[in-house]
Amino acid sequence: MMYLLFSFFASSFAMASSLRSLVNDDSRYQKCFQLFLERSSEHQSMRDFIHNVLPDILGSIGNGKSHLNIIGVGSGAGEIDLEMLSELRLKYPEVTVDNEVVEPSGTQLQKYKALVSQKPALDYIKFSWNQMTAIEFEEHCKAKKTTKKADFIHMIQMLYYVKDPGATVNFFRSLLDKNGKLLIILVSGESGWEKLWRTYRTQLCNTEISQCVTTGDIKSLLDGQRVSYRSYELPSQMEITECFTDGDEKGELLLDFLTEVLDFSKTASPELKAGVLELLRHPDCSVESNGKVIFNNNLGVIVIDQLT
Ligand SMILES: C[S@@+](CC[C@H](N)C(=O)[O-])C[C@H]1O[C@@H](n2cnc3c(N)ncnc32)[C@H](O)[C@@H]1O
């Protein structure tokens, strides 16, 4: 699941082919992403997890505290963050919360602020808006010699945008307080995305960032460091039927989103296009039912404890 788009990525785009990355065109990216949300159960899958599983994970972070520190990294427009904060409120009705938002997109931050202003009864939360990338936040913390510890840190669908996901995970983990939890969501190593990237990595993946990373990769990193973690699989689907109608405008937007290539249909070689389309409807990636092609958009969740 590939999203956003920053000008510095645009200027340093380095896909191993002549194709242009979707991250070069913010407005097309937003259109693609909106359509992806309409055609997928992505947000619903996250909400189910937040309401059914997250409360247990949050159960151990409070430990009698009257105040909790939260950090959201790559929070986007904040819908999912606020959903988590409301579960936290149910779990700990008496606590006050410091919520650091780390998000490089000014547009997304504005949307997040607007959402906060529409929600009643959030005055127990102090929001701190950090318009910066994860690595800038890390530098900022190091420069300030921050000693403040966090009880809950989440990075949801954002590790695709950093150069070294392992280093980013280790840094944020080092900010956790005793009993603190770091929650990561990415596409699952068992998803159709993984099959697509495994087959077409050199043609499709931007090498300046870790664009094609899955929870399978993060688990391998953690296993290599002997870090224990809990993990969950969240079933999610994306309807991609329109991709197979030549010239279909929505199909082309969805194909751009899936490949992360700007105007994939028009700019990919006929061989690449045919290969990608064939793989997308292959049983490794999708199921076909009642004339619809349903892509496996399964998500993975990883929960890590404090560094010991
Ligand atoms: C796919 S969106 C996820 C938004 C939100 N977490 C959600 O699940 O609804 C990815 C977010 O990561 C942000 N992002 C991109 N590069 C980043 C970086 N280097 N550090 C932190 N956030 C980044 C983007 O601006 C975007 O808001």
Report which protein residue has its CA nearest ligand 1's atom 16: 161
- Write down the domain spans for the chain: 7-61+68-238+294-305
Q: Which two tokens stand for residue 63?
A: 């430990």
Q: Which of 20-29, 85-94, 101-110 has the highest mean pLDDT?
A: 85-94
Please check whether residue 263 is in contact with residue 254, taking contact to mean a CB–CB distance below 8 angstroms.
Answer: no
233-244 average pLDDT score:
98
d(CA 169, CA 183): 10
Question: What pLDDT sits at residue 185?
Answer: 98
Give the distance (Å) from ligand 1 centre to CA of residue 163: 14
Residue 2 Cα: closest atom of ligand 1:
1
Question: What pLDDT sits at residue 6?
Answer: 41
pLDDT at 269 over 90: yes
Q: Which of 28, 22, 264, 44 is nearest to 161 (CA)?
A: 22
**Confidence label for 30 from pLDDT (cuts 50, 70 and 90):** confident
pLDDT higher at 79 or 211: 79
| Sign (positive or negative) of CA dihedral 128, 149, 76, 93 | negative
Which residues lie below 8 Å from residue 259, measured CB to CB, with a gap of 6+? 22, 196, 200, 204, 268, 276
Element (H or E) spanning 153, and its range?
strand 150-156
Element (H or E) spanning 51, and its range?
helix 42-52
- Please state, for a pLDDT cut of 90, what percent of the chain lies above it: 78
Question: What pLDDT sits at residue 209?
Answer: 67
CA 87 to chain centre: 20
Q: Which two tokens stand for residue 196?
A: 């697509």
Question: What pLDDT sits at residue 5?
Answer: 42
Question: What pLDDT sits at residue 8?
Answer: 36
Question: Check: CATH 3.40.50.150 for 7-61+68-238+294-305?
Answer: yes
pLDDT at 14 over 60: no
Residue 105 Cα: closest atom of ligand 1:
25
pLDDT at 23 over 70: yes
- Residue 45 Cβ inside 6 Å of ligand 1? The answer reads no
Question: What pLDDT sits at residue 21?
Answer: 84
- Residue 211 Cβ inside 6 Å of ligand 1? The answer reads no
Report which protein residue has its CA nearest ligand 1's atom 8: 156
pLDDT at 265 over 90: yes
Question: Is 103 known as a binding-site position?
Answer: no
pLDDT at 90 over 80: yes
Give the distance (Å) from ligand 1 centre to CA of residue 199: 25
Question: What pLDDT sits at residue 68?
Answer: 98
Mean pLDDT of the chain: 91
| Least confidently predicted of 97-101, 209-213, 282-286, 302-306 | 209-213
Mind listing the pLDDT tens digit for each residue in 159-218? 988 999 999 999 999 999 999 999 999 999 999 999 999 999 888 887 676 778 999 999
Report which protein residue has its CA nearest ligand 1's atom 26: 76
Which residues lie below 8 Å from residue 162, measured CB to CB, with a gap of 6+? 133, 134, 135, 168, 209, 210
Question: Is 297 known as a binding-site position?
Answer: yes
3-state secondary structure of 99: strand
Query: Beta strands 299-305 and 237-239: pairing type?
Result: unpaired
- Residue 162 Cβ inside 6 Å of ligand 1? The answer reads yes
- Residue 302 Cβ inside 6 Å of ligand 1? The answer reads no
- Residue 157 Cβ inside 6 Å of ligand 1? The answer reads yes
d(CA 184, CA 298): 14
Give the distance (Å) from ligand 1 centre to CA of residue 158: 5
Question: What pLDDT sits at residue 10?
Answer: 37
**Confidence label for 46 from pLDDT (cuts 50, 70 and 90):** very high
35-43 average pLDDT score:
95
Question: What pLDDT sits at residue 105?
Answer: 85
3-state secondary structure of 270: helix
74-94 average pLDDT score:
95
Residue 80 Cα: closest atom of ligand 1:
9
288-299 average pLDDT score:
97
Please check whether residue 142 is in contact with residue 268, taking contact to mean a CB–CB distance below 8 angstroms.
Answer: no
pLDDT at 4 over 70: no
pLDDT at 26 over 60: yes
